Structure 1
């Protein structure tokens, strides 16, 4: 209780707090990340824009210098003054590494005395002629492309191998001279060289993080940058890997935006970087920047991690505080829980926890104390009531036993003679009831009666006892009393001192066992049902009023001639007035239908089957009224076995084998189905082995086996003189699947018997156990061979 209650308080609070903190951190991270990414994008865009302006400023100055060279050539024709102009251009602009004037060979041939090629860097004059050139300069791209295009252009970066031994990029412009006819003639190319290493200061301004870098992109896709602090000039597709920039020219042309953005793989790693690029107008170059969001966001993640650890610590501290507070708050409840366990065991004097104040816990303890006191008073009252109820139950149980003892054979009786078989049973709705039956044979006359007292319970039982005592007075008289006279005498006896106006319906009859004529009278009782050739019919009767209400009544007499195979059913209204859970009455018609199916059963089995059918209809609904049933059957050929054989066998070690051989011989002799023989042999073996091993018979005792063949069944009867034992009710049935060692004696065999036979019944008569086992067979005619079906 302590752990459960505290846990149920601490866990939800901690989980809710954790969820709130986690949600806050997540929202804060997303907002911070969005702001940082936005700041990065703005910074990258501003850096690119600034670099573009600086590149434009640089190219504007270089173009101005080239134009100056063109004007100087037009005005200064001699070589010495041309070299002076070159030196002045190089010295005046710190970004210029070298300058060149290359004249067209056709022009130098016409103008004698001019050097065709002048080159000046920040040192001395390197070359003034063509002797050292492997390729004629007029075939170089910086000369030929400008000559063919007719306008200035930037040349792709290259390595100067003959002179400066450095990587350069060159801006070239065509030189023209105006003749006398005011026509311009192409005379050569002026160039200005820039070292790629001098562009490093421009690229450093574009670096945002250590994994990023800035770069220049030429019109032909050459990337000039320093991703690892070393200036390179390589195709952009070899430096930046991405599906987006693989076709860089097409990518640059897909948008008119001033700044393009794409995701690329960071150089030297598999991390993801962002690329932003913009055009530098008038130079046909682009300026770009590469940066890693992951690197720039790492401080934010480190901060979030620290916050997470701090939050976890706060959660643990908060959980400890909640545990302490919860235990202090719940201590009275825990003590109250322990006290309730003691009270549940009957210890009502257990101490309750002390509380201060009138809060909810204090109110609960006070209510619990009040409940404890009330419970003590209730238990005392309950003990008194239980003692009274126990005494009453004992008295009712004794009354039931006394009442059943007043009926023939204790409430369930059988009678069997040469002319008639009788079976009767009464089942009260309560501990005691008002139904009764009785029978008495005097010579060849059989007196039978069955009755139903109004009401139920103890009053009905007392009135029934008074009635049965008056009825049994006739049994000591020399001869049977006629039914109409018996009813008149019984009515006079019951009417006297009947202040409660109790009454009795009664059927009484006298059967002549020689002629099978039944003379009967009815005092308000239901008419019996006659089963003749399997068809139920309620017999017609003239009946008088119920007994006990008025003196001086008379009752008409009725006669019924019985014949062979007849079965007479006499019952009380507890059967036809039985109800199911839907409050539907069984009714006489449906009750008559219940009598048809068990018509071929032996009389005692038929009676039990009728009770079972009514119970099935009731479907668990409580029994509303007492139920009594009496069955009379006249023996005949219809229910008699077609063949019957009986034998006696000694109970010894050879009993099982002798019984199996006898059964096989009789089975074949009676023409029974061979495919059912094996099942019956298994059943018989189980029965006789139990008799041999557990019946505790005397030495050389014998048992009787009988085999009876009917039209639709075969019945096997086993009779032994052992101690009283009903295996169908008293045997402990083993659980299916239980090991053989753990199974109780006879437990597994009981499963075998009930599974392989259709019906089983047990009786104890004259000190003998009688077990009958029935196996249903296909309904062949009397002359049919069961073995062949012909």
Structure 2
């Protein structure tokens, strides 16, 4: 028979090697890959943090330069306060000396100059390459209610406004730095402003390019987009409304942390199932927050390329390893295959099958070959011994079967035993625990006297059966000459104890019933007391004198007892195999159960009682192994 590929030892051991090697490679690769990803992520966070800090620093420098410029020119407003028209020149000079500022206004309190009216706000602004001036305050442009005027006035401190589109003013998206001006009494009389276009902010943030596909954004204090890759979202959407329909709510939390001025890093899951990483940092002067969004591929593309190459190389290496293992191991185990075929023939009974030659080998294969050679020789010798042992066993079993038949033939087995007599009914049975047993029952009628006995030889098997045969023969001999139970038992005891070197003994109950008078003479030699019962009287144990068993002490004088049986009285004799029968959980049948069963069966014939009692014992044992011989004898006295 040839081995298939899937069942061969070489294939299985090759697969085992491949699995172990693959597991080690996978574990090593996973550790490396996770370490590499972690390192790349740390590098990305560090890079983003440094870049964000530099960008925020550049933005802060611009804002600080605007604040310094405005503060340095504020004294001129106070110096020329009595010359309102000079305010246009002050705003113009501020723009001329600071190219980043696109507009500047000196917005006075209502009616500060009565001759100038309710609104007076000289405003200089860039118009292409030139600088133009105009009066900003008019009925349609009431600057007194603008955020850049109202908030610094209420707070009484400088203030950067939220970006806005200045309709009627600079006509651009801008943010305004407002500086409150006070007179000598500390009363506010004007707000000096400098406007910055958001274009410079987009340029500064746009220079932050961490990865090819990354994009940048800036949000204001309320989350409004100030810088965004989609211009249409600037000042029209917030970070909350733009992501309202996203399944991943992480963006909302990121927005709150950015508004709160925190710095950090977060991962979001896009609706396209791709992953993005958000790095953000605050611009503390204005309350804005700058963020950079990078895709998964931006950060981990290099690591993933290395991963894919390693997987391909590892797969190819494992495939080569499998081919090498299959070839090498098959060459090594080929002699084992031939040896297995020879051993299979030996196992099928051909003990003379020669083992294939392996040459001189001192490795495990050689040891296996020698072991099987020794096994073949030992098996051949064992089969010869087994054949002889089997023949002896069959002979012994045959002899035991014959011995059992001879033993059973020595005891009465024809029932009813006295069909011509109507004054006595009797039935008995014996069930040995082994092929032959040591229990005994016997009975016969002589001169209108019923001699009956039940005995139990100590031990089991052949020794007990031999002693049982001797005891039965002696009982018949003694009972034919001696008529009283005590005399018979004394003679039996003397005969058995004369040469009892084995120390075996016999327990026996012997009774002689005078059938005409009902007088029962009995003697008990260490046996279980019989049970006495009638249909009207409950079953109970017969009172017996505790004489010693037969065969122990020579010359012992046995004491007999006497009882007169009334009509319909019954006696039940048994050996301890009845009361000591065990169930599977080691519970005994017990004397209490014996009495209970006999009460239940008291109106039956001896045959019925004995058979039903045997069924009750079998039911209690429930298949448990029989540990002792079971013998029962029941007689029913029916005087005429």
TM-score for the superposition, normalised by structure 2: 0.69
Deviation at 1:595, TM superposition (A): 5.6
**Residue 290 of structure 1 corresponds to which residue in structure 2?**
292
Distance 1:306 1:249, change over 3 A: closer
**Residue 206 of structure 2 corresponds to which residue in structure 1?**
204
Distance 1:84 1:343, change over 3 A: same
What SS does the aligned partner of 2:283 have? strand
| Residue 40 of structure 2 corresponds to residue 36 of structure 1 | yes
Give the superposed CA RMSD. 6.1
Distance 1:430 1:172, change over 3 A: closer
Deviation at 1:331, TM superposition (A): 5.6
Deviation at 1:233, TM superposition (A): 3.9
Distance 1:331 1:612, change over 3 A: farther
**Residue 781 of structure 1 corresponds to which residue in structure 2?**
none
**Residue 603 of structure 1 corresponds to which residue in structure 2?**
606
Whole-angstrom distance in 2 between the partners of 1:223 and 1:56: 18
Cα deviation, 1:147-195, whole Å, max 9, x if unaligned, reads 958876555544455687543445566799x9xxx99999977765544
Whole-angstrom distance in 2 between the partners of 1:604 and 1:101: 136
**Residue 247 of structure 2 corresponds to which residue in structure 1?**
none
C-alpha contact (below 8 Å) 1:170/1:194 kept by paired residues: yes
Deviation at 1:564, TM superposition (A): 0.6
Cα deviation, 1:491-532, whole Å, max 9, x if unaligned, reads 79x979x98889988877765544445678899988866546
Deviation at 1:373, TM superposition (A): 1.9
Quick one: which of 121, 128, 138 aligns to 1:122? 128
Deviation at 1:393, TM superposition (A): 1.4
Quick one: which of 349, 352, 359 aligns to 1:349? 352
Deviation at 1:421, TM superposition (A): 0.7
Whole-angstrom distance in 1 between the partners of 2:553 and 2:598: 33
How do residues 36-55 of structure 1 correspond to structure 2 at under 5 angstroms? 36-55=40-59
**Residue 234 of structure 2 corresponds to which residue in structure 1?**
232
What SS does the aligned partner of 1:600 have? coil
What SS does the aligned partner of 1:396 have? helix
| Residue 97 of structure 2 corresponds to residue 95 of structure 1 | no
Quick one: which of 230, 251, 262 aligns to 2:260? 251
Deviation at 1:38, TM superposition (A): 2.9
What SS does the aligned partner of 2:602 have? helix
Whole-angstrom distance in 1 between the partners of 2:72 and 2:576: 138
Whole-angstrom distance in 1 between the partners of 2:270 and 2:400: 102
Higher relative contact order by CA 8 Å / sep ≥ 6: 1 or 2? 2
**Residue 483 of structure 1 corresponds to which residue in structure 2?**
483
| Higher mean C-alpha deviation, range 152-161 or range 519-528 | 519-528
C-alpha contact (below 8 Å) 2:579/2:588 kept by paired residues: yes
How do residues 168-207 of structure 1 correspond to structure 2 at under 5 angstroms? 168-171=174-177, 193-207=195-209
Deviation at 1:567, TM superposition (A): 2.0
Whole-angstrom distance in 2 between the partners of 1:520 and 1:461: 25
Whole-angstrom distance in 1 between the partners of 2:586 and 2:141: 124
Deviation at 1:108, TM superposition (A): 9.5
How do residues 294-305 of structure 1 correspond to structure 2 at under 5 angstroms? 294-299=296-301, 300-301=303-304, 303-305=306-308
Distance 1:565 1:50, change over 3 A: same
| Residue 404 of structure 2 corresponds to residue 395 of structure 1 | no
**Residue 660 of structure 1 corresponds to which residue in structure 2?**
none
| Unmatched 5+ stretches in structure 2 | 244-250
Deviation at 1:542, TM superposition (A): 12
| Higher mean C-alpha deviation, range 184-193 or range 423-432 | 184-193
What SS does the aligned partner of 1:565 have? coil
Whole-angstrom distance in 2 between the partners of 1:293 and 1:557: 112
Distance 1:326 1:612, change over 3 A: farther
Deviation at 1:380, TM superposition (A): 1.2
Deviation at 1:394, TM superposition (A): 1.4
**Residue 283 of structure 2 corresponds to which residue in structure 1?**
279
Quick one: which of 362, 374, 378 aligns to 1:374? 378
Whole-angstrom distance in 2 between the partners of 1:231 and 1:559: 126
What SS does the aligned partner of 2:413 have? helix
| Residue 638 of structure 2 corresponds to residue 635 of structure 1 | yes
| Residue 565 of structure 2 corresponds to residue 565 of structure 1 | no
Cα deviation, 1:647-677, whole Å, max 9, x if unaligned, reads xxxxxxxxxxxxxxxxxxxxxxxxxxxxxxx
Distance 1:142 1:353, change over 3 A: same
Cα deviation, 1:119-138, whole Å, max 9, x if unaligned, reads 5533456565689x673576
How many residue pairs align between the two structures?
613
Cα deviation, 1:81-113, whole Å, max 9, x if unaligned, reads 9989887765665535466778998659489xx
Whole-angstrom distance in 1 between the partners of 2:210 and 2:148: 38
Deviation at 1:634, TM superposition (A): 1.1
How do residues 147-158 of structure 1 correspond to structure 2 at under 5 angstroms? 148=153, 154=160, 156-158=162-164
Deviation at 1:268, TM superposition (A): 10
Whole-angstrom distance in 1 between the partners of 2:471 and 2:180: 149
C-alpha contact (below 8 Å) 2:521/2:563 kept by paired residues: yes
C-alpha contact (below 8 Å) 2:511/2:522 kept by paired residues: yes
| Unmatched 5+ stretches in structure 1 | 253-258, 638-790
Distance 1:124 1:175, change over 3 A: farther
